[in-house]
Amino acid sequence: MLKTMGILMVLLGAAGTGGSMALAVYRSNVLLRQLLAAMELLHSELSFRRTPLPEAMDALAHGSQGAVAAFFQAMARDLALRQERSVAVIMRKNLMRSSFTPQARRILQQLGNGLGQYDLDSQLRAVSLAEKRLQERLDEARAQQAGRIRSYCTLGVCAGLAIAILAW
Amino acid sequence: MYQRKLRQVCSVLPPQLAAMVSQLPPEQEEQLEELRLRCGSEITMVCGGREQPLSLTRPMLCTRDLLEHLVNLASSYSTYAVEECLRQGYLPLEGGHRLGLCGTAVVQDGRIATIKDISSVNLRVAGQHLGCATALLDALGPNPGNVLLVGPPGSGKTTLLRDLVRQLSDRLDQRVGVVDSRGEIAATVRGQPQMQVGRRTDVLTGVPKDQGMELLVRTMSPHWVAVDEITAKADIRAMVRAGYCGVRLLATAHAFGREDWQRRALYEKLRKRKIFTNLVFLDGKRRWTLERVEEGC
């Protein structure tokens, strides 16, 4: 009886691990979607209202959720504090603290390197580029999402079964 | 008041520089006119008309990073939001202070698009001398004609103009329209004048003077239109047109005294047509003399 319960627990644990990995894939896609929406909002804020960055970041925070909202809120707060030399420095600091994927961090850091420094056209081009790159990542991730989620789930269950058979 | 002014100035300075400025002795604090930062040189200040090191005991060198930080702070990390001012070589700051910029100008289609690689910065601390135009307004009488303030740079033309605007508005209950192309008269930040320009004063910023005058006359029906620094023939043409509409004019012009004013070709039309009936000549020591001109056509 105990043996059966142990095997069931191993099986569930392994399946759970696979499931959580699949969930991480899903979450990273949600994050990319939210970042993309934030970039679209930033583009509008800059092109139609020329909103200064601290206010624009605040608007992005209010228009987002979860980790993305927290990130832009932190950006707005640090910009308002006026302690750092440039947006790039503030962006780097907050990206380090964020839970974003390395790809998303790279895209945002490249955006941050020029943000706030040049004329409006350059700003809009930089935001458009970030949008484009995020869209590419999202398309890639979407294409792989179903397969990866299925793989992680199957792998989890199979690994659990394998351990169960070995332990029997 | 000086402490408030200094706090406003310090709020746009990088922390290390703000710390130095906030430690200035009270007598220097009161007289502080400018902070000058030149890349690779010691930071200086202008106090009582004299340029001197910001600190004798702890000299501080100005670096590229410091300049970048200062410009970023002054523009709230958003130079695109103040692009037009940047084209004109300055950034307006809260409290009416302003940052004059020098660097490499990027020219597109014969027009300055922006200034990059900032090499030196002049932070001008705004000073409003309330009441400095009282004596002049008294001398002008109850129903003055067009007034032109003529003087060399730094003679206090804009300060006098600002107080005249304020007093015309508050004391004589006149509607005054101000064309503040470079934000030097009212120093408007997000629609809020940072200087006292009077209760009946409408301020139009960021527009060329000639277009601004026409717009104000058409839309705000002012009794007076005030502009700072007549620098182009278009400004003079617009003044003549505004004069025909029955609006009285208040303006400033650069000249080193009466003779210089008579010599300058730009002002020939103003002189010939006797547009301004009150010429106020300022010397470099904040003193003025009023000269009345018989009304022209």
B252 touches chain A (CB under 8 A): no
**For residues B215 and B204, what is the distance between their CA atoms, to the nearest angstrom?**
9
**What mean pLDDT, rounded, does chain B reach?**
88
User: What's the order of all strands across the beta sheet hosting B224-227?
Assistant: B201-205, B176-180, B224-227, B248-254, B147-151, B278-282, B288-292
Among B12, B79, B114, the residue with its CB nearest the CB of A116 is B79
- Considering its fold, how many domains does chain A have in total? 1
B202 in the same domain as B154: yes
Could you read off the pLDDT of B143-192 as tens digits, one per residue? 889 999 999 987 889 999 999 999 999 999 999 999 998 888 988 877 88
Choose one of B82, B99, B124: the last residue of a domain: B124
Cross-chain CB nearest to A116 (options B12, B69, B78): B78
- A74 and A89 Cβ atoms separated by less than 8 Å: no
Residue B297: inside a domain, yes or no? no
pLDDT at B2: 58
Residues in A touching B75 (Cβ below 8 Å): 52, 116
Tell if the CB–CB gap between B80 and A123 is shorter than 8 Å.
yes
Q: In this structure, is residue B238 part of a structural domain?
A: yes
Q: By C-alpha distance, which of B121, B92, B125 is closest to B1?
A: B125
B72, B80, B83 ranked by CB distance to A85: nearest:
B72
Report helix, strand and coil shares of chain A as percent, to nearest 5.
85, 0, 15
Q: Does B65 touch chain A (CB under 8 A)?
A: yes
Query: What is the three-state SS of B265-288?
Result: HHHHHHHHHCCCCEEEEECCCCCE
Going by pLDDT thresholds of 50, 70 and 90, the confidence category of residue B297 is very low
**Angle formed by the axes of helices A120-167 and A2-44, to 10°?**
170
Measured between alpha carbons, how far is B129 from A86 in angstroms, rounded to an integer?
Answer: 36
For chain B, how are helix, strand and coil distributed in percent, rounded to 5?
Answer: 35, 30, 35
> Which chain A residues touch B78 with a CB distance below 8 Å?
50-54, 56, 116
Tell me, letter by letter, the H, E, C secondary structure of A7-76: HHHHHHHHHHHHHHHHHHHHHHHHHHHHHHHHHHHHHHHHHHHCCCHHHHHHHHHHCCCHHHHHHHHHHH
Residues B106 and B151 in one domain: no
Average pLDDT over residues B282-295: 84
Boundaries of domain holding B212: 134-292
pLDDT at A47 over 50: yes
- For residues B148 and B281, membership in a common domain is answered with yes
Identify whether B129 is part of a domain: no
Q: Does B72 touch chain A (CB under 8 A)?
A: yes
Q: Which residues of chain A make contact with B14, given a CB cutoff of 8 A? A: 85
CA atoms within 13 A on the CB side of B191: 0
**Does a structural domain hold residue B25?**
yes
Contact at CB, A117 and B79, closer than 8 angstroms: yes
Query: Quick check: A118 and B80 CB within 8 A?
Result: yes
User: For A56, which residue in chain B has the nearest alpha carbon?
Assistant: B78
How does DSSP assign B195-213, residue by residue?
S---TTEEEEESS-HHHHH
Tell which of B81, B99, B124 closes a domain: B124
- Residue B151 and residue B102 in one domain: no
Which residues in A lie closer than 8 A to residue B12 (C-beta atoms)?
Answer: 82
Neighbours of B193 (CB within 10 A): 20
Question: What residues contact A53, with CB distance under 8 A and at least 6 apart?
Answer: A79, A87, A115, A116, B76, B77, B78
For residue A95, give both structure tokens.
Answer: 């990206």
Q: B174 at the A interface (CB within 8 A)?
A: no
Residue A9 token pair: 């627990």
Close Cβ partners of A58 (under 8 Å, ≥ 6 residues apart): A72, A73, A76
Burial of B80 (0-12, 13-18, 19+ CB in 10 A): buried
Q: Is B253 left (phi over 0), alpha (psi -120 to 50) or beta?
A: beta
Share of chain A above pLDDT 90, in %: 51
Residues of B in contact with A115 (CB under 8 A): 77
Are A87 and B72 within 8 A, CB to CB? yes
Residue of B70, B72, B88, B112 best to disrupt the A interface, most CBs of A under 10 A? B72
End-to-end CA distance of chain A: 12
pLDDT tens by residue, B92-144: 888 788 899 999 988 888 888 888 889 999 998 887 788 999 999 999 988 88
Domain end position, chosen among B124, B154, B171: B124
Sign of CA dihedral A157, A158, A162, A163: negative
Indicate the number of domains in chain B: 2
User: Would you call B117 an interface residue with chain A, using a CB distance cutoff of 8 Å?
Assistant: no
C-alpha count within 13 angstroms, C-beta hemisphere, residue B229: 15
Check whether residue B249 and residue B287 sit in a common domain: yes
Tens digits of per-residue pLDDT, A97-140? 998 989 999 999 999 998 988 788 889 999 999 999 999 999 98
Inter-residue contact B121 to B99 (CB < 8 Å): yes
Contact B9, B97 (CB under 8 A): yes
To the nearest whole Å, the CA of A30 is away from the closest chain B CA by 29
Q: Is residue B185 part of a domain?
A: yes
